Amino acid sequence: MTAIVVLGSTNMDLVAYVARAPRRGETVPGRAFRTIPGGKGANQAVAAARAGGDVAMIGAVGTDAFGELLRHTLQVSGVDTDLLHTADGPSGTAHIVVDDEGGNAIVVVPGANGTVTALGPGDEALVATADTLLLQLELPLSVVVEGARAARRHGVRTVLTPAPARPLPSALLAAVDLLVPNEHEAALLTGLADPDAAADALLRQVPEVVVTLGARGCLYAHRDGTRIAVPAPRVTAVDTTAAGDAFTGALAVALGEGRPVDDALRWASCAAALCVRREGASVSMPYRPEIDTAYATGGETSDDRPPATLTAGTATAAVGSPAGPLSDPEIGSAS
């Protein structure tokens, strides 16, 4: 089993389903309400554990009932929570209104997640035991940078999901091995709407990039010029929440087990396709036998051809172009 440490958030998703979202000052009736364990860190931890990884979680929950449920959700999925700290006060929450057209509005209250500003006792030692460290941006940036640097010191592969999208300081980018944005995050980070062009720009910052494209699959790019396009299995989506986290968690397992990149991407894509067939976030993550079966049978995909290995792209637009990327004074071109 490949060892994976997740440094990330835990949230309780409080989801109200309505015909239409209320306008300011208005009250509308809801037709359903669900309380669903989530948070990008917890989602990725559950995804990786169910996919067959040996997973441990670093983060924090509160002293409320949500904290107990969030911890339990991780534990029953096989995630080690010894270094999931308990902070005085409430756990993180995401307050979500979903309308009948599939639109949503979300308010995230960090709660205990906001207390994780630096690595605590034992955290770096745990990171040092891992093959892969998974990071996202729902914790304070200071601890994300510290975690990435700790992983680099110990030769641990670092995978960053840049969500919620925000300027990425050079101190963080210098310690990231693989960046996994979705196409919207890639566009926000670079100012380039075309995923190939965005990948080229991001390769100036990190050695490897996977841009996830939703129903169109994913695009892998490496500084050595390798490009791999993988189509997504064709499925009827019920809920796309956390599909990217399912993909990233399964990808970390596949790469940690030494699978070739194209094989790892296809296997992770099967995990994401299984995830979107179910409602919810962490609860929708598939188990390894399901992923293996979907991968072995091939499934019905939007493109039955094998992954296309391409040459380096020709786009030359740099991060910081006039198209309007997120900017940060620390961002510079990586060599």
Angle, vertex CA 223, rays to CA 217 and CA 228, nearest 5: 25
Q: Where are the beta strands (DSSP E) in the chain?
A: 3-7, 11-18, 30-38, 54-62, 84-87, 92-98, 104-109, 132-135, 157-160, 178-179, 208-212, 218-222, 227-230, 308-310
Catalytic residue among 245, 262, 263, 292: 245
Q: Convert 203-220 to b/e letters by CB count within 10 Å (16 or more is b).
A: bbbbebbbbbbbeebbbb
Nearest one of 209, 200, 281 to 15, comparing CA atoms? 281
* Contacts of 114 by beta carbon, 8 Å cutoff, 6+ apart: 92, 140
Query: In terms of residues, how long is the chain?
Result: 335
Q: How far is CA 40 from the centre of its chain?
A: 6
Peptide bond into 325 cis (omega under 30): no
Query: Would you call 71 helix, strand, or coil by DSSP?
Result: helix
Distances 28 to 19, 20, 21, 101, 193 between C-alpha atoms, Å: 9, 8, 7, 16, 36
**For the stretch 53-69, what's the b/e string if a residue is b when 16 or more beta carbons lie within 10 angstroms of its beta carbon?**
bbbbbbbbbbebebbeb
* Cβ atoms 264, 291 nearer than 8 A: no
Please report the sign of the dihedral spanned by the C-alpha atoms of residue 127, residue 281, residue 294, residue 212: negative
**303 among known catalytic residues:** no
Q: Which residues are catalytic?
A: 245
